[in-house]
């Protein structure tokens, strides 16, 4: 017996790891997408608050929102200002455009105008 049972078990373990690799990759990609979506929601919330504070101070809410966002996320954000409400919609980074559209986050901040 050249290979023996130990070599056979090692070969079986390798096959199982290689077979499970695609599933582990999918799980990792889903987790990363969830993290990106959560981070986008936090960024949108902070930007909406910055816009509302600028609005309360008589400033430009849209410009404040853009300044509050990091460069990569500015192109993914849409800003709506209505009365004392600033709404920021943002698509999270995603390798799939459809996923980014479905996972779009929205944050809203409101202030009482004088």
How many Å apart are CA 108 and CA 110, to the nearest integer? 7
Show the tokens assigned to 36. 């990106």
Hey, what are 83's tokens? 């009365």
pTM of the model: 0.80
Q: What is the pLDDT of residue 7?
A: 56
Summarised one tens digit per residue, pLDDT across range 14-71 is 788 888 889 999 999 999 999 999 999 999 999 999 999 999 999 999 999 999 999 9
Measured between alpha carbons, how far apart are the two ends of the chain, in Å?
90
The per-residue pLDDT for 1 is 47
- pLDDT greater than 70 at residue 101: yes
């Amino acid at each position: 017996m050249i290979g023996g049972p130990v070599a056979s078990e090692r070969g079986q373990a390798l096959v199982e790891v290689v077979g499970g690799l695609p599933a582990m990759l999918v799980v990792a990609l889903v987790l990363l997408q969830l993290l990106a979506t959560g981070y986008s929601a936090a960024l949108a919330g902070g930007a909406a608050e910055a816009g509302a504070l600028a609005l309360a101070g008589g400033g430009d809410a849209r410009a404040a929102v853009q300044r509050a966002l990091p460069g990569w996320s500015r192109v993914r954000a849409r800003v709506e200002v209505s009365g004392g409400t600033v709404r920021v919609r943002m698509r999270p980074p995603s390798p799939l455009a459809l996923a980014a559209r479905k996972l779009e986050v929205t944050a809203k901040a409101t202030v009482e105008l004088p």
